[in-house]
Amino acid sequence: MSKTNPRQALFGANSPHHVAHALPVCEHYAGTEAHMRKALKMQAQMGPLFDVTLDLENGAPWGAEIEQAQLIRELLDSADNAHGRVGVRLLPVGHRHFADAAGIVLRAQRRPAYLTCPKLVGLADVQRAADALNGLGASAIPLHALIETHGALRDVAAIASHPRIEALSFGLMGFVAAHHGAIPASAMTGAGQFDHPLVVRAKLEIAAACHAAGKTATHSPYADIHDAVAVQAAADMASNLLGFTRMCSIHPAQIRSIVAAFAPSQADVDTAISILQRAQDADWGAITFEGRMQDRASYRAWWHVLERADRIQLSGAAAFPELPALPAEVLAAWFSAT
């Protein structure tokens, strides 16, 4: 029987590595100086299981955008940016200080891992932002797009397919505000954001567009920062029901809940290993496992479970001992050369 590596057997020797789930599953937003410094120190200590986004837009005091940009530049170059997984949320592309503030940020010796573009009104704004940032020497930095307007949602498939875009994020509060009171405020918090049809429709369209284009879909943060159970439930809904592969946090206490919710369970990891080992022994033909037929279509799904677990281990899971782990023999046999 062949002992072909699962990735080669299931996706082909020359197939590109799928990137839709490659980013850390948690994106932690910080806007004030104290919060930004605390977030960087936490990431330095815990490892890059979560990204940190330094906020130049909503986090900046009104009229102090240039000063905020200078602070962010300093933080990018600080020793606490230990893993290179720090991004920056820029000003809207139409803001009078967009280019000046972005230029200051981009003069940091350590470039941002990504740049998030808010308040986009459609595909044309994405290209406008990309062109402006290219002119500032940022052509190699991935862009993340906030989908929070009617126009951006209308163009969501095209935005996801844009070659500069790495991820789409849902801007829940901006989206609700864009409806001028037609969506109640209750849809911005708690379970309401998972119940209101217009909000759920927007989330599903964003997730579907990202999966079709091989990009990352990032769910909006949960506003109640003190209810850990509710945060965990929201993260479970975003991951398991709506198909998002990443979620924002706005308080350090939320990070662990989000990372745990978006990680595969140990039971799923163990099942994936058993199924793929039997499939490998069967030369990747169909098998029966616990009374159910499994074939290459399901093998691919189970392989992605193991990829997610592998990324957690590579990202420094020592700080999250409750997360699933792959046995050393599986890592050596299947992941050492992938």
* Domain boundary, last residue among 219, 240, 262: 262
pLDDT band at 320 (very low <50, low <70, confident <90, very high): confident
* Domain boundary, last residue among 225, 244, 262: 262
Contact in structure between 29 and 55 (CB atoms under 8 Å): yes
Same domain, 232 and 298: no
Same domain, 307 and 219: no
* Domain boundary, last residue among 262, 281, 299: 262
Joined together, the tokens standing for residue 79 give 């020793």
Number of domains in the chain: 2
Where residue 120 sits, what CATH number does that domain have? Answer: 3.20.20.60
Same domain, 294 and 248: no
Same domain, 240 and 311: no
State pLDDT tens for residues 298-308.
Answer: 999 999 999 98
* Residue 8 lies inside a defined structural domain of this protein: no
Residue 2's pLDDT is what?
Answer: 46
* Residue 55 lies inside a defined structural domain of this protein: yes
Amino acid at 64: A
* Residue 105 lies inside a defined structural domain of this protein: yes
User: Can you give the length of the chain in residues?
Assistant: 338
* Residue 10 lies inside a defined structural domain of this protein: no
* Residue 6 lies inside a defined structural domain of this protein: no
Among 75-89, 254-268, 310-324, the range scoring the smallest mean pLDDT is: 310-324
Residue 13's pLDDT is what?
Answer: 59
Joined together, the tokens standing for residue 67 give 């000063």
Residue 20's pLDDT is what?
Answer: 47
pTM above 0.85, yes or no: yes
Same domain, 242 and 272: no
* Residue 3 lies inside a defined structural domain of this protein: no
Q: Rounded to an integer, what distance in angstroms lies between the CA atom of residue 296 and that of residue 10?
A: 7
* Residue 75 lies inside a defined structural domain of this protein: yes
Same domain, 318 and 248: no
State pLDDT tens for residues 262-286.
Answer: 989 999 999 999 999 999 999 999 9
Torsion angles phi and psi, residue 14, rounded to 5: -105, 5
Contact in structure between 36 and 54 (CB atoms under 8 Å): yes
Same domain, 152 and 121: yes
Same domain, 139 and 238: yes
* Residue 7 lies inside a defined structural domain of this protein: no
Same domain, 196 and 274: no
Same domain, 130 and 186: yes
Q: Which residues neighbour 181 within 8 Å (Cβ) at sequence distance 6 or greater? A: none
Domain of residue 270 covers 265-335
Contact in structure between 49 and 324 (CB atoms under 8 Å): no
State pLDDT tens for residues 68-120.
Answer: 999 999 999 999 999 999 999 999 999 999 999 999 999 999 999 999 999 99
